[in-house]
């Protein structure tokens, strides 16, 4: 559910990125309390058209957290252009409560993250919360950015280094600049990470890996870790911005290779209320629900954010792509409604589970 929140600060982070802070009134404090690593969806209506985007919260989680997100300008991105060029203190923005399962509940142990570009945003919240709350935790951050000037949250990361010199380890790599003092250059791909990580930390002793950024970096990092013997269950990932060319190169997420039936109906439960509707040709299950229930949850409609996650109660579906659900979630029966099409004459979804 969306709530109108007032912008209390807009801070320029780089030439193409800002941090936006929202004022949360006391009656909504509980609603907007977040776990470290979660995101919020923002909604804007412009020219009669609704735009939704999800942005990760960069601030530490806590009893009275600050709700602040990092927004980087995306080429042709309507929301990010608005955020960078127009959004000002005092504006009202519709904000959905925090969501997402790319989270780390603070506990003792050794943790690490490999991030690219704006992928630092949720990891900043994860690392800051962990190090502040758990004195027996260590965190290693490997970050890759195009240039030093385009690096988001430089100060905040430097602050973690100052505050926790023995427990926070940082490696920064820039991909498009000549090597600078202390900064290796070049892309962080699978081969490079396979050599770099064992030299940095005892890979087998890391309790959780957090990968976040563009698809290529996350896929390369996951392959490097798997090649180094890291179990799949210790790897958590969140992908930002999947373009269609990249998505086409990735295996489809289909959970059923069954041909679509000529006619199918969808029954869905949302906020305790159920309805049954015919699925129109080519429509996703999310689009089918949205025809009658405008409150159906979604943000990206691209299989990336996971906001539309629903439990498949009965029937089968074909998913076009899935960059949001972990294998355990699909095995447990969850699907992305925005990417799902019926593969049986009747399908039932539960958005409340």
d(CA 266, CA 143): 43
In 3D space, the residue among 308, 314, 346 whose CA is nearest the CA of residue 333 turns out to be 314
**For ligand FES, which is the closer residue by CB, 225 or 286?**
286
- Pick from 152, 174, 304, 349: which binds ligand FES (CB under 6 A)? 304
Confirm if 349 and 312 have CB atoms less than 8 A apart: yes
Contact status: 98 vs ligand FES (CB under 6 A): no
Which among 12-20, 27-35, 271-279, 303-311 is the span making contact with ligand FES, rule CB under 6 A?
Answer: 303-311
**Nearest distance in Å: CB 323, ligand FES:** 8
Contact status: 53 vs ligand FES (CB under 6 A): no
Which strand (E) or helix (H) includes residue 46? strand 39-46
**For ligand FES, which is the closer residue by CB, 79 or 164?**
79
φ, ψ of residue 323 in degrees (nearest 5): -110, 10
Residue 272, CB-side half-sphere exposure with 13 Å CA sphere: 0
In 3D space, the residue among 127, 126, 121, 132 whose CA is nearest the CA of residue 103 turns out to be 126
Q: Long-range CB contacts (< 8 A, 24+ apart) of 280-283? A: 282/341, 283/341
Contact status: 338 vs ligand FES (CB under 6 A): yes
241-300 positions binding ligand FES, by CB under 6 A? 298-300
**For ligand FES, which is the closer residue by CB, 112 or 308?**
308
d(CA 130, CA 163): 13
d(CA 211, CA 228): 15
**Nearest distance in Å: CB 325, ligand FES:** 9
**For ligand FES, which is the closer residue by CB, 157 or 242?**
242
Structure tokens at 48: 């009669």
**For ligand FES, which is the closer residue by CB, 122 or 302?**
302
**For ligand FES, which is the closer residue by CB, 16 or 97?**
97
- Pick from 157, 305, 310, 343: which binds ligand FES (CB under 6 A)? 305
Cα angle 265, 304, 196 (rounded to 5 degrees) comes to 145
Contact status: 301 vs ligand FES (CB under 6 A): yes
Contact status: 307 vs ligand FES (CB under 6 A): yes
Structure tokens at 16: 């193409």
Contact status: 100 vs ligand FES (CB under 6 A): no
Structure tokens at 50: 């609704």
Residues 314-333: x where in contact with ligand FES by CB under 6 A, - otherwise, as a string = ----------x---------
**For ligand FES, which is the closer residue by CB, 217 or 324?**
324
**Nearest distance in Å: CB 194, ligand FES:** 30
**For ligand FES, which is the closer residue by CB, 143 or 301?**
301
Contacts of 250 (CB under 8 A, 6+ apart): 215, 219, 321, 323
- Pick from 303, 319, 340, 349: which binds ligand FES (CB under 6 A)? 303
Strand runs labelled E in 127-199:
137-145, 168-174
Interface residues with ligand FES (CB under 6 A)? 298-308, 324, 336, 338
């Amino acid at each position: 559910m969306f709530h109108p929140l007032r912008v209390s600060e807009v801070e320029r982070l780089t030439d193409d990125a800002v941090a936006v802070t929202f004022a949360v009134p006391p009656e909504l404090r509980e609603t907007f309390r977040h776990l470290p690593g979660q995101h919020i969806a923002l909604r804007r209506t412009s020219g009669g058209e609704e735009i939704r985007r999800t942005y990760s919260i960069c601030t530490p989680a806590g009893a009275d957290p600050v709700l602040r997100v990092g927004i980087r300008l995306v080429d042709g991105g309507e929301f990010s252009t608005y955020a960078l060029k127009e959004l000002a203190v005092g504006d009202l923005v519709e904000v959905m409560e925090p969501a997402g399962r790319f989270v780390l509940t603070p506990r003792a142990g050794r943790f690490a993250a490999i991030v690219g570009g704006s992928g630092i945003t949720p990891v900043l919240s994860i690392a800051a919360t962990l190090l502040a709350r758990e004195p027996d935790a260590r965190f290693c951050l490997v970050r890759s950015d195009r240039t030093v000037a385009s690096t988001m949250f430089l100060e905040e990361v430097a602050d973690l280094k100052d505050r926790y010199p023995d427990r926070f380890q940082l490696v920064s790599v820039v991909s498009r600049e000549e090597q600078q003092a202390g900064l290796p250059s070049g892309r962080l791909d699978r081969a490079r990470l396979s050599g770099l990580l064992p030299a940095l930390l005892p890979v087998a002793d890391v309790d959780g890996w957090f990968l976040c950024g563009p698809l290529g970096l996350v896929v390369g990092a996951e392959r490097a870790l798997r090649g180094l013997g890291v179990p799949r269950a210790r790897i958590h990932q969140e992908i930002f911005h999947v373009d269609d060319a990249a998505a086409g190169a990735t295996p489809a997420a289909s959970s059923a290779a069954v041909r679509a039936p000529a006619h199918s109906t969808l029954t869905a439960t949302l906020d305790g209320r159920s309805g049954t509707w015919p699925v129109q040709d080519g429509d996703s299950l999310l689009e089918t629900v949205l025809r009658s229930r405008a409150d159906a949850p979604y943000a990206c409609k691209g299989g990336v954010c996971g906001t539309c996650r629903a439990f498949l109660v009965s029937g089968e579906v074909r998913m076009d792509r899935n960059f949001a659900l972990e294998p355990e979630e699909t095995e447990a029966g969850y699907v992305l409604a925005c990417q799902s099409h019926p593969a049986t004459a009747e399908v039932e979804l539960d958005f409340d589970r």
